[in-house]
Each structure stands twice: as C-alpha cells, then as structure tokens.
Amino acid sequence: DLEEDAKAFVNGDFSGNTKNAKRIYCTYTAMLRVRAALAQLAEVKDVGVGK
C-alpha cells in the first residue's frame, strides 16, 4: 500500500540533514501518487504538480 510505504519511508531515519536526504525515482504518473501520499504526512513544496 503506497500510503503505508510512504509513512515507513518518512518515519525511517529521515531528517532535514542533506546527508540523510532521500530520493524516490519513479515515472511521472507514479510521482503524482507519491507526492499525494507524502502530502498527507508532511508539507510538500508546491511545484505545480501532484497536489
């Protein structure tokens, strides 16, 4: 489930420190779903897509 995976991703060892920054590589369509799921957990910067 994408929402559960997004929670696990965010609640892992993530921090604002750029050394611990995480990236998700996916297709554009998948990125829209990932952004929507992450927006439910945290503030997602508005870049004109996926909100």
**Tens-place pLDDT, residues 1-49:** 888 888 887 777 555 566 666 777 888 888 888 888 888 888 888 887 6
pTM here is 0.59
- What's the pLDDT score for residue 16? 58
**Do 31 and 3 contact (CB within 8 A), yes or no?**
no
Rounded to a whole number, what is the distance in angstroms from the first to the last CA of the chain?
19
d(CA 40, CA 11) in angstroms, rounded, equals 13
